[in-house]
Amino acid sequence: MNNRFDPERWRARTISALAQLTAIFVGVTLAFLFEGYRKQIDEAADLRQAVDNIVTELGHFEEHGTTLAERIAQSIEAWHEADHAGRQEAPVLHRIPGAQSPPTAAWDSAVSSGLANRLEPALRLELGWFYSEYVGIHANYARRESFAEQEVMPRALQGAAAFYGSDGKLRPEFQVHLALMGEFAADLKRLSLQAGELKRKLQAREAGQR
């Protein structure tokens, strides 16, 4: 049997083995690159969807928040007009229909999923501040609404005189109620207008990403 070392055969086998290893390495590398690229595409699509949802949410705040703020302010102004005319009027104000807290599912989902972290820091901070303020003023409104249900609405059944003292002036607790509701209406209008500004910032951002 011929066991002589054949350099040509050894070289051929070495080249073949290196070619196989290279092919495996290139294949694995391309697979990782493709997976990373696909993940980037998926994350970009998820972020676009999250931003679209936040834009819709902000648009809701802009439209409905402004309308509600104006109706509350108008009901307060109507009471003041009656008071200035010397008429006793029950301080029954416009109420927000439905849930007392605003829908924030789009922003909450973006935060919990980590997608909000992919927004620019300044924009993310501005959105976070807005949502914190918007939820906060509605928490204050809930306390005002609780007072209205317990103190204003039952007295309204007795007539306007039930809200006035012996001096003919509106009792202090109801004066405070009117003042705080006025503050809420002003805050709601201010933040609803800011919601519109943020909505347009996000829309401009999305337009620049495409």
How many Cβ atoms sit within 10 Å of the Cβ of residue 53?
Answer: 16
**What domain range includes position 67?**
7-209
pLDDT tens digits in sequence order for the chain, 210 residues long: 555 656 777 676 777 767 676 767 666 665 565 555 455 555 667 888 999 999 999 999 999 999 999 999 999 999 999 999 999 999 988 888 877 789 899 999 999 999 899 999 999 999 999 999 999 999 999 999 999 999 999 999 999 999 999 999 999 999 999 999 999 999 999 999 999 999 999 999 888 776
Q: Distance of alpha carbon 115 from its chain centroid, rounded?
A: 13
pLDDT of res. 45 = 78
Q: How many CA atoms lie within 13 A of 166 on its CB side?
A: 0
The answer to whether position 159 is within a domain reads: yes
In-domain check, residue 1: no
Name the pTM for this structure: 0.78
Split into its structural domains, the chain has a count of: 1
Residues near 203 by Cβ (< 8 Å), separated by ≥ 6?
Answer: 55
Q: What is the pLDDT of residue 20?
A: 73
DSSP per-residue codes, 144-164: HHHHIIIIIHHHHTT-GGGGB
Q: How many CA atoms lie within 13 A of 1 on its CB side?
A: 1
Which backbone phi and psi does 170 adopt, to 5 degrees?
-60, 135
Buried b (16+ CB within 10 A) or exposed e, 59-74: ebbbebbbebbeebbe
Nearest one of 102, 109, 121, 103 to 50, comparing CA atoms: 109
Angle made by CA atoms 24, 27, 28, in degrees to the nearest 5: 85
Q: Is 136 part of any domain? A: yes
